[in-house]
A and B are shown apart, each in its own frame.
Chain A
Amino acid sequence: KAGVTQTPRYLIKTRGQQVTLSCSPISGHRSVSWYQQTPGQGLQFLFEYFSETQRNKGNFPGRFSGRQFSNSRSEMNVSTLELGDSALYLCASSLDTGPYGYTFGSGTRLTVV
C-alpha cells in the first residue's frame, strides 16, 4: 500500500515569506502528526490532527499552524519565515489518535534564506 506522501520534497523560501506543506496519510489512517527535525534540536512535536480537529500542540510559536481535511490529508503553514525555521518537516500518520505505530513520510526539506 502507498506510504505517507509529503509534498514538496524540497523548498527554498526567503525570510518573511510563508509556506504551506502537504501530507497525505496512509489510506485508512485518521491521525496525522507533524514533527520538526533539526541537527540541534532533534525531532520536536508540532501538532496532531484527528478527524479534522487539532488534538495536541507542541511548543512552537503561533506562526506554525495546521489543518486537516475530511479525507485526512493535512497541511501545515508557517508564516513570516525565520532563518531558524530551516528544517526537515516530517508528517506521521496512524490509525487512531495518539502516538502509536506512526508511519513517517520522507519529509519536506525547508531552507529559509
Chain B
Amino acid sequence: GENVEQHPSTLSVQEGDSAVIKCTYSDSASNYFPWYKQELGKGPQLIIDIRSNVGEKKDQRIAVTLNKTAKHFSLHITETQPEDSAVYFCAASYGSSNTGKLIFGQGTTLQVKP
C-alpha cells in the first residue's frame, strides 16, 4: 500500500541543538526519498534527497540516513537556527521510476527557540 508515517508531528528545540525527524515507508520498491521544508505561505522546498543505493547523504548542517531493510529514513539537522523553523515533510517514491509519484508524510512542525 501507499503509506509514509512521519514522527514526531511537532518538535521544539533550543537554538544550537540537533533535531531528528523519522519516517517509515511501506512500499519496498520505493527508491527515492526527498525531504521538503515548507514555510508559511510558500510551497515545499526540496532540502535534501537520497536514492535507495545510498545509505547516508550530508549537506552542511543537514543529513539524511536510509535503512532499506527496516524501511526507515531520517532527517538530521545539527546546530539548529531560528530560520530552520518550518514544517518538514518526508516523502517516498511510489510506482515505476519514470511515471512515479511521491507519497508524503503528514509533516513535522519544527520550532527552534532562540
Contact = CB atoms under 8 A, between A and B. Distances in A.
A104 B99 contact: no
A105 B36 CA distance: 13
A101 interface: yes
Contact of A101 (B49, B89, B105): B49
Contacts of A100: 32, 49, 93
A101 B102 contact: no
A16 interface: no
Output the residue of A33, A90, A99, A105 with the most chain B CB within 10 A.
A99
A37 to B, nearest CB: 9
B104 A99 contact: no
A97 B46 contact: no
A48 interface: yes
Interface residues of B, number: 25
B60 interface: no
Contacts of B101: 33, 45, 48, 56, 58, 99
Interface size class of A (residues with CB under 8 A): 20 to 34
B104 A43 contact: yes
A42 interface: yes
A104 B45 contact: yes
Contacts of A103: 46
Interface of A: 4, 33, 42-45, 48, 55-56, 58, 90, 92, 96-107
Interface of B: 32, 34, 36, 41-46, 49, 89, 91, 93, 95, 97-107
